Amino acid sequence: MTETLESIAQAMVAPGKGILAADESSGTIKKRFDSIKVESTEDTRRDYREMLFRTDEAMRNHISGVILYDETIRQKAKDGTPLVDLIKKAGAIPGIKVDAGAKDMPGFPGEKITEGLDGLDARLAEYYQLGARFAKWRAVIDIADGIPTRTCLEANAEALARYAALCQQAKIVPIVEPEVLMDGAHDIDRCFEVTEETLRILFDRLGAHRVNLEGTILKPNMVIAGKKCGKQASVEEVAEKTIACFKRTVPAAIPGIVFLSGGQSDEDATAHLNAMNAIGGFPWKMSFSYGRALQAAPLKAWSGKPENVPAGQKAFLHRAKMNGLAALGDWKSALEKAA
C-alpha cells in the first residue's frame, strides 16, 4: 500500500491507540533520571527507551507512534538493532521532534517563541531516510497578567504553519502542538479564551500556508484551570469545555487530536481523555500523546536496574492500556468492572 500523508495520519489515531512522547531533550531526561538516581548517559538512555519499545503488548495494542529525539532516532539497541526498527516491528510509526526549543521573545517579557526553522528542510529529508514518518513542533503559550499578546500567538502560529508545510513537502505528517500552559493561577474560563484564540490564529496560518489538514495532527492542551488556581474544575467540566472550544475552532478535516498531558497527574490525564470520548459527538478522533503520563510509572519501576526491566515493562503496559481504553471512552467502565 502506498503511504500517503492522509494514511499515516489516520494510522496515528487508530482506535484505542495513542502516541508515546519519548522525545525528552538531554536536559529533561537528565532531570527524570536524577529522580531515580541514575546517571544520564547515552547507554542508560538507550537501555531505558529500549525497555519501552520492547514492551510488545503495549506497543502493538495501544501505541500508534513514538516521538523520538535526534539522539534516539540514530541509536541501536544492545543487540545492534536500530531502535527505529524495534518501533516498526511492533507496528508503531517512528516520529521525530524537530523544533529547537522555546526561547525568550525579545521585547515581550514572559513570552516565548519556538526556534528551529533554519535548515529544517535538510533535517527533515535526513529524518525521512532514518525512518521518521511524522514530526512534532511545540509552541509554548503562557497565561499571566497581560499575556499572551496577539503578537506572540501570531509569531508562534506562523512558525508552526511554516514547519507543517515543510514537513508535508518532505512526506512527513506534522503534529502541530500549541501548548497553553497550566502553570498559572488562571481559571478554566481564561484557559478557554486563550486556547480558542490560539487555535483560531493557528488554523488561519495553516490555511495561508496551504497545509493539507487531512495530513496533519493537532496536539493541544486540554481546557483546564491553572495549577495555582484555587478553584479546580471537575473532570466533566474539563471534558465539556475542551470539546466546546474545539468545536468552535478545529476544522473537521483534521483526522485526530492527540492531547498532551501538560503537567496533569497520570490519572487526571486519563480521566479527562476518557470523559471526552464518553461524551462523543465530535468529528475527530480524540487520543493521547503523553510523555510523563505514560512514563513516570515505568521509569520508577525500572530505576536503572537490568533486573527491573520486567517490572518497568509491566508498568508501561498498564499505563498504555489505561490510556488506550480512555481513547475509546471505556476506561471508567473497565475500572468499575475490575473493582
Is the CB of residue 111 less than 8 Å from the CB of residue 152?
A: yes
Return the amino acid letter for 79: D
* Catalytic option among 17, 97, 136, 219: 219
Q: Is 16 in contact with 328 (CB distance < 8 Å)?
A: yes
Alpha-carbon gap, residue 237 to 217, rounded angstroms = 24
**CA Rg value for the chain:** 19
CA angle 96, 102, 106 (to 5 degrees): 150
Please state the length of the chain. 339
Q: Specify whether the CB–CB gap between 155 and 134 falls below 8 A.
A: no
Grid cell in block for residue 11: 494510522
* 177 labelled catalytic: yes
Selecting among 50, 111, 158, 177, the annotated active-site residue is: 177
Based on the residue annotation, tell me whether 219 is a catalytic residue of this protein.
yes
**Angle CA 223–323–57, to nearest 5:** 155
Active site residues: 177, 219
